[in-house]
Structure formats: structure tokens, C-alpha cells
Structure 1
Amino acid sequence: MHSVERIGRYRLERRLGTGAFGTVWLAHDDDLDAPVAVKVLAENWAHRLDVRERFLSEARLLRKAGSPRVVQVHDIGELPDGRPYFVMEYADAGTLADLLAAGPLPVAEALRLTALAARSAHALHEAGIVHRDVKPSNVLLRTAPDGTRRVLLADLGLAKSLAQASGLTLAAGSEGYRPPEQAEPGAGIDARADVYSLGAVGYELVTGTVPAAPGKVVPPERLRPDVDPGVARTLMRALEPDHERRWPTAEALAEELETCAAVGPAAVRP
């Protein structure tokens, strides 16, 4: 793949990242004179029809979401060797994981960004999709024309339709962000699985620490004493091991986070 300079009309510029099943490239769409991100299935999985279908399913689910809060898919195609690829909008401002490289964020900013990620997840849920792998590296930032930052949810490699999610039989998700029901094969899930993961993202943005295992999460005010009790309660409710005790929807979590951000006193990094 290193020797390929173009994929269709897209001129490759540099590698953005490599995951378990594919590589994402920054490319330039010469016809539209615009940067794009191109995801290509890895060569070592090219012979696996199930992996190929999962790869294409991600593109279909992104397209199905049809929301400006979720990364948009512009094109799909196939390399001469038969490997599929799809073309997405490029998020030029990095990810929440990149922001965390400098340590925990100002509390109000952390809450606002988590609220935006929650609204992105709610857009997926409204489209009948559960993400199953919400974490800082899958929450992208893009500079809007007015200079503000847009938050985009990406990487639907583990996503499923909510109609299928109640009967899932395989564990999925990333440690620290994964709710207990996703760690147990055969346990059905719903949109509240993503609520847990969003709570973990907010917790990390506020404290700089990935939460411990479900049920063993250290209250955020112990790691950052300036955290308001209302903020701590909001995050800990999202991180409830029992999904019945969490925020009922990602939208409800977003609304509470926005309220906390509007009244919270902490505006600087610790």
C-alpha cells in the first residue's frame, strides 16, 4: 500500500492511522479541490469475506446515520486488487485523544465536548444504530467555516443496528469505556451502552484518567478536587454498572452536561 499514490481520483498525502482492519489516509480530491480521509481494508484481511462485509457495513452505517454530527461518507470503491475503500470527510483538528495529550481539560470545556459527543451518539441512536466503541480517539474534531470546532463521531467498525443489538453474542468495545453488558457474551445491549462509554469519555476529559472497571470507578472529585458535586453525580450516573440506573438516553446526558457546563466554576486546566 505504501507504493500507491492515488486511489481513483483521490491523491494520497499521508497516513492518518492504522487499525486492526484497515488504514486511513489523508488524501486530496482533485475534482472538488478538498481534503478527504480514505479508509482502505488491510491486505492481510482481503481474503476474509466476513471482515470485508464488516468493513463495508461501517460505510453503510455511517451513510445511514445521515447526520452532520457523524462523519459523512462521500464515496465507496474497490482497489485493483479487490480491496474495498470508502471516502469520508476529513477532520482537520484531530481527536479528543489528541486534546488529552496535554492533560485534563478545563471542566466546562470537557463537559461541552462530551455533550456534543453525546448528541452525536443520539443521532446514531435515532437512526437505529448503537456505536459500541465510543472513546476519545473515535471522537473527531473539525474546524467549521466560522472557526468553531465541530464534534464528529467516527469509526463504526463495531456498530450494530439497535434491532440486532438485543441478541448480540460476542463481547466488544475498549477496556475502560466498555459497559459491563458489552463485556459479557450473550448479554443484549441498547443505546444505554453508549451512555456508559460517553460517561467514561467525560470522566477522562475531566480527570485525565481512564475509569476503572465498572463498579470500581473512583469518584472524579477524588482525582480533581475542584470538580463540582453536580458534575461528579452526572458522570457517575452515566457510569452506573446497572444500565437501568444510567441516564436513559444520550440526549438526556447531553442536556445535563450542558447545564453543568453553564453553571460550573472551573475554567482552567488544573
Structure 2
Amino acid sequence: MDVIGRYRLQAKIGAGAFATVWRGYDDDLDVDVAVKVLADNWASRADVRERFLSEARLMRRIASDRVVRVFDLGKLPDGRPYFVMDYVGGGTLAEVLRHGPLDPADALWWGADLSRAVAALHSEGVVHRDVTPANLLLRPNQGDESGGGTHRIVLADLGLAKRAAEASGLTQAVGTPSYMAPEQGRGDGGFDERADIYAVGAVTYALLTGHPPYSAGSITEVLNRDPDLPPPSLRPALHDSVGQLDDLFARALAYDVDARWERADTLAERLEAEAYRLEQEAPLRALERTHISDEDEELPTTVATDPPVRRRRRTRALFLLALPVVFVLAGVGGWYLFGQ
């Protein structure tokens, strides 16, 4: 399959249980596109086809550059539906995580940027239900004020997304277990936008540590989680000052939904403030680790070799500066003694 409609397929960029995503090219518009095609083994299921088309319609209606935009819809000759989206070429946050945890301040900026994206979705009255690193695309930043360095986060894969008004009536537990809010795992319909806020907290935690706060391979493990178990402290993995974030994540990842942040933009503001604080403290922490005065009697073991090195360099410099003075004094003394 080299062509779908007017779109030339170039490479497969993603595949899941229900669909495959291709990178393509639109010759008419002269742009790269992403084409999502329903898997053939689900083509005969009317409910799956409707969910697939509902995702396309929902993505089309959301007027935000924080969500991948759909601009075409069609059918293959075998009757399978497909839809065409903007191509976001910066990879996914899951690919970033493969390299391990991020610098703490950078991780918090990414988390704040994700919170802003989720807030944009919520402002449209939509709950994502599957906020995971694999569903978070990275778009080159256009110089705006958002965090995340040279890219910004864009939400993709709204296959599980629902209008907030509909979410309270859902009874099927769906999503990615390690990033799923407990109330969503119960499948009793008792969840709202705060389920996404939980996921934002879990993704940000993973960016800080390299792993989600609660590892769960199944919905059953989500349901069996101890309600009184707090998220693991950040202190073992990060600098002590980052431990101040423990309370923030305890609230974002609270088992009790009523104890959680109510709005994603509020969480974004808190993450931005913490990221800024860490950036301001970083030079001071570096100075504390490396600066030891000559009068210090006890030296931290992590920098025990630094003071002698600095002392040797300072002694050598003083010696070189003193040499001309020695020669001048020697010359004056010689002239005084022998030149008379």
C-alpha cells in the first residue's frame, strides 16, 4: 500500500491493536501528513469503526494547537476508514524517556507544558483518558513562552477521549495501567478531568525519575493498589531540595480524587514555579558542592580532592608572581654590595 487517497505513504510511524499510523505526503498542499488506518481485523466491528470515526470527529472539533488536528477523512477500497492529521515530527515523550530521567528543572517544565495541553483539552469539555508518554508528541517550539526547551507537547490518540459530560456514565476500564487514575480503573463511571490530572502527575514523575510512580501491568494491579500508599519519595533519586516536590506529587497522585488538583492549569502554575525555583537554586547548589574555604576543617568527601588542587594552583601562581620581585631585589642588593 503506497498510496491512500491523494497521500503518498513514506513510512510506518506507529501501530497499535486497533490502527496503524503512516507518515505520508500531500502533493497538493506540499506538506507531510500522518494517516491513521483502522486495522483490518477490526473492520467488521461496527462499534470499533464508530469509535475510530468518533476520534477523528472529536479531534477535528477541538480548536487548539495543543491537539493534533484532523483535516481529512476517507475509506480504503476494502471499506476500512482512515483519517489524515497534521504530521508532528519531533517524536514522542516516550522516546525521550528511553534515555533515562531528565534534569529536574527540565522535567518540571515538560510537566507544566503537558498540564497546559491537558488544560486546553479540558477547556473544550473533553477528558483524554489515556495521557501517557507514547501519546504525547513533540512539536518544534515557535519561540513561545511555554516550557519544554525547543519543543512543546501536543496531545495525540484521542481514541479513548470522551466529552466530560459522557465520562461519568462510562463503565469500561480503559487506559494504560501505570498512568491510570484509580477511579478510572474501577470502571464505575465515577471520574472526570481529575483523572487526566493524575496522569499528568504520573508522566511528570516518570520524567523526573525514569519510571512511573506505581508500576502496574494490568487493571487488576491498579484496583489492588493500597489507597493509603503514598507515591515514592523523590529524595532517593534527586537532590534533597527537590524533596519539596513530594507534597505536590502526593496531591497530583492522590488516590482520593477529591484530594487532587481540580484544574490542570493550576497544576501547571505550580510546576512552573517549582521549575523556576530549581533553576535559580542550581548555581547555588553547584557552588555549595565545589566551594570550600581554606579555613574549613572538615571537607565533604564528594569534593575532598578539590581544595588541594586549588591550593597547588594558587601556590604556583604566587610563586611565579614573586619571581620578578626576587630578581629585582637581588639586583639591587648586588649593586649595593659590589657596585660601590
TM tier, shorter chain? over 0.9
Q: Could you tell which deviates more after superposition, 191-200 or 206-215?
A: 206-215
Equivalent residue, structure 1, for 2:119 = 122
Whole-angstrom distance in 2 between the partners of 1:266 and 1:218:
23
Whole-angstrom distance in 1 between the partners of 2:244 and 2:165:
34
Equivalent residue, structure 2, for 1:82 = 79
Whole-angstrom distance in 1 between the partners of 2:192 and 2:186:
14
Equivalent residue, structure 2, for 1:98 = 95
Amino acid at match of 2:66: R
* Candidates 256, 262, 272, aligned match of 1:242: 256
Amino acid at match of 2:85: M
Contact kept? 1:76, 1:87, Cα under 8 Å:
yes
Whole-angstrom distance in 2 between the partners of 1:145 and 1:29:
23
Q: Secondary structure at the match of 2:35?
A: strand
The equivalences for 1:66-77 within 5 A come to 66-77=63-74
The equivalences for 1:48-197 within 5 A come to 48-144=45-141, 148-197=150-199
Q: What's the Cα RMSD here?
A: 1.6
Q: Could you tell which deviates more after superposition, 140-149 or 20-29?
A: 140-149
| Matched residue count | 264
Whole-angstrom distance in 2 between the partners of 1:230 and 1:32:
50
Contact kept? 2:42, 2:49, Cα under 8 Å:
yes
Q: Secondary structure at the match of 1:76?
A: strand
Larger Rg computed on CA atoms: 2
Higher relative CO (Cα under 8 Å, sequence separation at least 6) belongs to 1
1:229 and 2:226 matched:
no
Gaps of 5+ in 1: none
1:168 positional shift: 1.1
Equivalent residue, structure 1, for 2:22 = 25
1:223 positional shift: 3.1
Whole-angstrom distance in 2 between the partners of 1:79 and 1:145:
36
1:145 positional shift: 5.1
1:187 positional shift: 3.6
Whole-angstrom distance in 2 between the partners of 1:151 and 1:185:
28
Q: Secondary structure at the match of 2:109?
A: helix
Q: Secondary structure at the match of 1:103?
A: coil
1:230 positional shift: 3.1
Whole-angstrom distance in 2 between the partners of 1:88 and 1:173:
22
Contact kept? 2:33, 2:86, Cα under 8 Å:
yes
Equivalent residue, structure 1, for 2:324 = none
Equivalent residue, structure 2, for 1:208 = 210
Whole-angstrom distance in 2 between the partners of 1:248 and 1:95:
27
Whole-angstrom distance in 1 between the partners of 2:120 and 2:254:
22
1:266 positional shift: 5.2
Amino acid at match of 1:170: Q
1:228 positional shift: 1.4
Q: Secondary structure at the match of 1:81?
A: coil
Whole-angstrom distance in 1 between the partners of 2:51 and 2:234:
37
Contact kept? 1:75, 1:86, Cα under 8 Å:
yes
Q: Could you tell which deviates more after superposition, 230-239 or 177-186?
A: 230-239
Whole-angstrom distance in 1 between the partners of 2:162 and 2:110:
24
Q: How does the TM-score come out when normalised to structure 1? A: 0.93
1:144 positional shift: 4.0
Summarize the Cα distance change of 1:137–1:240 in structure 2 as closer, same or farther, 3 Å threshold.
Answer: same
Q: Could you tell which deviates more after superposition, 54-63 or 193-202?
A: 54-63
Q: How does the TM-score come out when normalised to structure 2? A: 0.74
1:215-237 deviations in whole A, cap 9, x for unaligned? 43312223334561332322221
Q: What is the percent sequence identity of the aligned residues?
A: 53
Contact kept? 2:74, 2:83, Cα under 8 Å:
yes
Whole-angstrom distance in 2 between the partners of 1:194 and 1:73:
22
Q: Secondary structure at the match of 2:34?
A: strand
Q: Could you tell which deviates more after superposition, 242-251 or 197-206?
A: 242-251
